Amino acid sequence: MDLLRSLPIGLYLEKPITWLHTLDPRVKLTWLMTFLIAPILANPLWRLGIVAMLILLTVAARIPLRVWRQQMGWLIILSILIFIITAIAPDGLAVTSQPRLPDRELSLPQPTSYTYVLFDKGRLITRRSLELGIRISTLIFILIYSTNLYLLTTAPEEITAGLEDLLKPLRRFKIPITEIMLTLTLSLRFIPLVLEEIQNLARSIRTRAINWKQLGIKRSFQVWLVVVEKLLENLLMRAEEIAIAMEVRGFTSPNEHRVEWHQLRLIRWDWVALGVLIPFWLARFIWGGM
């Protein structure tokens, strides 16, 4: 298995270049924060609307089916399972048991069609448990998939360039923004190296056809300790090689030796995307409240 290609989340889609790729990273970061903040204290219909909006956004961007099916398939299954488990679970914890309705001789006719219990056939589903299931499952889907869609359509260099531009005011407080962004860029670029080392070690173990049943728990644990030690050794060696290469090329200070990875420039569609934020938040405060 190729971990560099089969990792379900966090990969950047280089080809094809969609219209989401062309948007400014600062605009996409603004929309990402919007998707993460908007579900807070929102009603279930608004949360479901954000989920539908993310799915429609993926389809409208014409992201290949093989990509978003791999990215979204497992997440949809996870969200559905969480919704089912939460919906059939009790709607309260540490609550004393008491009848929901008064005794028959004291009961009054119900003036409306409202019923608290929605389904009771061996498993009890109430309005609270159903609402709680929608709230948890949609929050997990929005949190993971919106972030993943941002990483899918934004290169690591664009992410760090956009963050550095947005965090420029913090330099007044003598916060080393450039150094932090350089560290973030190197860490994002280091992730494929980590996956490559893990993949190479996994292949080396598989080719040796180790019989784990004969080894037992203790000796198997010793083998895995050796593998982890070798992994850390290889990663530290890679990090040292990167540091030596940067030092040889004169990158001793990020403020003096800066490389412009990406030119930040707002185009017409960026202003359109920012303008859509206004009706979005108006709708959120009007119809999205609890």
Residue that wins the pLDDT comparison between 246 and 158: 158
Lowest mean pLDDT among 3-7, 79-83, 182-186, 199-203: 3-7
Q: How confident is the model at residue 193 (pLDDT cuts 50, 70, 90)?
A: confident
CB neighbours of 108 closer than 8 A, spacing ≥ 6?
A: none
Segment 13-64, tens digit of pLDDT? 788 888 888 899 999 999 999 999 999 888 889 999 999 999 899 888 888 8
- 18-29 residue pLDDT tens: 888 889 999 999
* 209-241 pLDDT tens trace: 777 777 778 888 888 888 888 888 888 888 888
| Predicted pLDDT of residue 199 | 81
Which residue do the tokens 């965090």 mark? Answer: 167
CA–CA separation, 63 vs 52, rounded Å?
Answer: 16
Q: What is the mean pLDDT of residues 92-120?
A: 58
Residue 277 tokens read as 């934020």
Q: Are 54 and 20 in contact (CB under 8 A)?
A: no
Q: How far apart are CA 118 and CA 125, in angstroms?
A: 6
Q: Give 107-128 pLDDT, tens digit per residue.
A: 566 677 766 666 665 556 777 8
Instruction: Give the model's pLDDT for residue 1.
Output: 46
Alpha carbons 92 and 8: distance in angstroms, whole number: 35
Whole-number Cα distances in Å, 280 to 21, 48, 142, 286: 22, 15, 16, 10
At 119, which helix (H) or strand (E)? strand 117-120
Report yes or no: 199 and 3 within 8 Å, Cβ to Cβ.
yes
Residue 71 to residues 91, 133, 159, Cα–Cα distance (Å): 32, 22, 20
pLDDT value, residue 93: 45
Calculate the CA 17 to chain-centre distance: 21
Identify whether the C-beta of residue 280 lies closer than 8 Å to the C-beta of residue 43.
no
Beta strand pairing status for 124-126 and 117-120? antiparallel
CA 258, CA 185: separation in Å to the nearest integer?
A: 13
Instruction: Tell me the whole-structure pTM to 2 decimals.
Output: 0.73
Give the residue from 108, 233, 260, 99 showing the smallest Cα distance to 178.
260
**pLDDT score at 108:** 60
Distance of CA 70 to the CA centre of its chain: 14
pLDDT confidence of residue 208:
76
Three-state secondary structure call for residue 17: coil
Cα 166–chain centre separation: 21
Instruction: Supply the mean pLDDT for the chain.
Output: 79
CA–CA separation, 155 and 12 (whole Å): 6
